[in-house]
């Protein structure tokens, strides 16, 4: 259409044409797929971007925002493409005309080891940062997620939970400054955007407020040598007893110890990272969780950066360079539901869950990640992420390789079924969900006039943000009153409230 031509013309005035990809250019499909992590959102019929702009400098972001506003083309920002519901590159609304701003090339990392700080581009992956931090200094680290291909842009703007959270909180708790392009195309930093805007992008989901170009973060201290273990217990041994018991123990362990569980038929895998040596870890485990039967032979003493590989791949045999591998060829379909747990789930509920849902071979993992420690001592309003006071988070994480609607329906209904089974035992009123584990089952936006409805959005919004939702909407009213940055679950402006 003429609007699209005008939009392209506007882009070409400032952005080299080789960075602007349309469905008629050669690299469009390869670029679109380059960081897709969920094949559900590239199925035929999915609404694809009119244009992908593979920016190489912040000025290109500013131009794309200004041209988009002028010519009525919306923008979805993609850093690492890991959004569980594909919101960074696909639209559920068949009428939405949008461009994707792909930030993969904005991934410079500058480490200041002496000050224990770093500037990191939104397109940098967690693995790239872990590698660079460790190369600069073996006793520095950054608290963030376990999957090395997840990128900064989405991860930090949604929170960022990982194996150092009990000691140092979320990634978002360790952000010192950020550079963003706002809805008027201005390039702002912490002092020019103001504290409310800066608060919102540390856990409120960046996509509603602007485009975060880079982040200044605080690096944290870790010992030169840390210890990891992975202990597998089968159902016919003691797995159910141990999982039940784990709930009373893991959230209350010393902050230096992170002990997660992956429950997947026929076993439960207990995976630990301890910021210290094997001897002390063994003492703690013997005193606090003797039932697990950990021995010193279970320990592997390694560097912190190696522990990031262990937690992701369950081995220490891979070279560090595996962290730099960004090649994320999409090969599976994904559906995840998550929740938070406040009271231990009783043994009989685990037993019946296992019997009804987990007994089939090949069922996906249920991942239990402990909170407590630093997580519990941060105020729920310090950042938009409010879920500080839980025992643990729980993810039902289904991925599958078979094509076709039968597989799709079967897998998705399995995930929903497991969640339903657990419903009596997990958070309620409102349910507590982490926005980085995006779940469109919670609800999607509707328009009122030409702005997203606040009342409607509250339904899903309070599940992600509790009391912080209203404040986020207030920030949105101020920084993007026209609701230019919108998607299926973007924060609406508050002024639309009735």
Which chain residues interact with ligand FDA by CB under 6 A? 37, 76-84, 87-88, 103, 122, 145-147, 150-151, 153-155, 157-162, 206-207, 211-212, 436
Residue 296 phi, psi dihedral angles, 5° rounding: -65, -20
Least spacing, CB of residue 399 vs ligand FDA, in Å: 8
Count other Cβ atoms within 10 Å, centred on residue 456. Answer: 17
Going through 6-95 in order, the beta strands assigned E by DSSP cover: 20-21, 51-54, 74-78
Least spacing, CB of residue 339 vs ligand FDA, in Å: 15
Task: State the sign of the Cα–Cα–Cα–Cα dihedral 96, 463, 483, 203.
Answer: negative
Least spacing, CB of residue 5 vs ligand FDA, in Å: 25
Least spacing, CB of residue 274 vs ligand FDA, in Å: 18
Residue 299 phi, psi dihedral angles, 5° rounding: -75, 145
Least spacing, CB of residue 145 vs ligand FDA, in Å: 3
Least spacing, CB of residue 206 vs ligand FDA, in Å: 3
- Pick between residue 127 and residue 493 the one whose CB is nearest to ligand FDA: 127
- Pick between residue 151 and residue 294 the one whose CB is nearest to ligand FDA: 151
- Pick between residue 78 and residue 476 the one whose CB is nearest to ligand FDA: 78
- Pick between residue 171 and residue 227 the one whose CB is nearest to ligand FDA: 171
Q: Comparing C-alpha atoms, which of 389, 293, 397 is closest to residue 343?
A: 389
- Pick between residue 303 and residue 436 the one whose CB is nearest to ligand FDA: 436
User: Is the separation of the CB atoms in 395 and 438 below 8 Å?
Assistant: no
Least spacing, CB of residue 75 vs ligand FDA, in Å: 9
User: Coil, helix or strand for 200?
Assistant: helix
Burial zone of 37 (CB within 10 Å; 0-12 exposed, 13-18 middle, 19+ buried): buried
C-alpha 383 chain-centroid distance: 15
- Pick between residue 283 and residue 331 the one whose CB is nearest to ligand FDA: 331
Spatial distance between the Cα atoms of 56 and 16, rounded to a whole number of angstroms: 10
Residue 485 phi, psi dihedral angles, 5° rounding: -85, 100
- Pick between residue 151 and residue 391 the one whose CB is nearest to ligand FDA: 151
Task: State the sign of the Cα–Cα–Cα–Cα dihedral 80, 85, 88, 89.
Answer: positive
């Amino acid at each position: 259409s003429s609007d699209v031509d005008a939009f392209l013309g506007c882009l070409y005035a400032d952005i080299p044409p080789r960075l602007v990809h349309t469905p008629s250019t050669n690299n469009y499909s390869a670029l679109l797929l380059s960081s897709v992590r969920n094949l559900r959102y590239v199925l035929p019929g999915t609404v694809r971007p009119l244009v992908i702009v593979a920016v190489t400098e912040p000025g290109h972001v500013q131009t794309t925002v200004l041209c988009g506003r002028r010519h009525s083309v919306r923008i979805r920002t993609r850093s690492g493409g890991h959004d569980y519901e594909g919101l960074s590159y696909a639209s559920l609304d068949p009428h939405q005309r949008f461009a994707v701003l792909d930030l993969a090339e904005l991934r410079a990392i500058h480490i200041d080891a002496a000050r224990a700080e770093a500037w990191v581009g939104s397109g940098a992956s967690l693995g790239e940062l872990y590698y660079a931090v460790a190369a600069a200094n073996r006793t520095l680290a950054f608290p963030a997620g376990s999957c090395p291909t997840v990128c900064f842009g989405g991860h930090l703007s949604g929170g960022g939970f990982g194996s150092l959270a009990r000691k140092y909180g979320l990634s978002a708790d360790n952000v010192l400054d950020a550079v963003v392009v706002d809805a008027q195309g201005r390039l702002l930093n912490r002092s020019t955007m103001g504290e409310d805007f800066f608060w919102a992008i540390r856990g409120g989901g960046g996509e509603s407020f602007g485009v975060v170009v880079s982040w200044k973060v605080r690096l944290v201290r870790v010992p030169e040598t840390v210890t990891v273990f992975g202990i597998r217990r089968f159902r016919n041994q003691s797995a159910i007893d141990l999982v039940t018991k784990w709930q009373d123990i893991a959230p209350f362990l010393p902050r230096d110890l992170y002990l997660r569980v992956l429950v997947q038929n026929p076993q439960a895998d207990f995976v630990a990272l301890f910021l210290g040596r094997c001897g002390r870890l063994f003492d703690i485990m013997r005193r606090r969780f003797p039932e697990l039967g950990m021995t010193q032979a279970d320990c592997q003493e390694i560097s912190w950066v190696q522990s990031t590989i262990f937690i992701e791949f369950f081995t220490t045999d891979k070279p560090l360079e595996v962290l730099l591998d960004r090649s994320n060829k999409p090969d599976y379909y994904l559906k995840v539901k998550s929740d938070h747990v406040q009271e231990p789930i009783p043994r009989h509920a685990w037993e019946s869950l296992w019997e009804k849902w987990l007994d089939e071979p090949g069922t996906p993992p249920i991942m239990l990640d402990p909170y407590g420690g630093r997580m519990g001592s941060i105020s729920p309003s310090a950042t938009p992420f409010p879920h500080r006071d839980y025992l643990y988070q729980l993810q039902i994480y289904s991925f599958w390789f078979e094509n076709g609607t039968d597989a799709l329906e079967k897998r998705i209904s399995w995930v929903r079924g497991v969640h339903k089974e657990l419903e009596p035992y997990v958070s309620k009123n409102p349910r507590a969900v982490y926005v980085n584990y995006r779940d469109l089952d919670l609800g999607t936006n509707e328009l009122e006039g030409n702005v997203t409805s606040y009342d409607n959005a509250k339904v899903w919004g309070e599940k992600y943000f509790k009391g912080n939702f209203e404040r986020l909407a207030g920030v949105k009213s101020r920084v993007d009153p026209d609701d230019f940055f919108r998607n299926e679950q973007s924060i609406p402006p508050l002024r639309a409230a009735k």
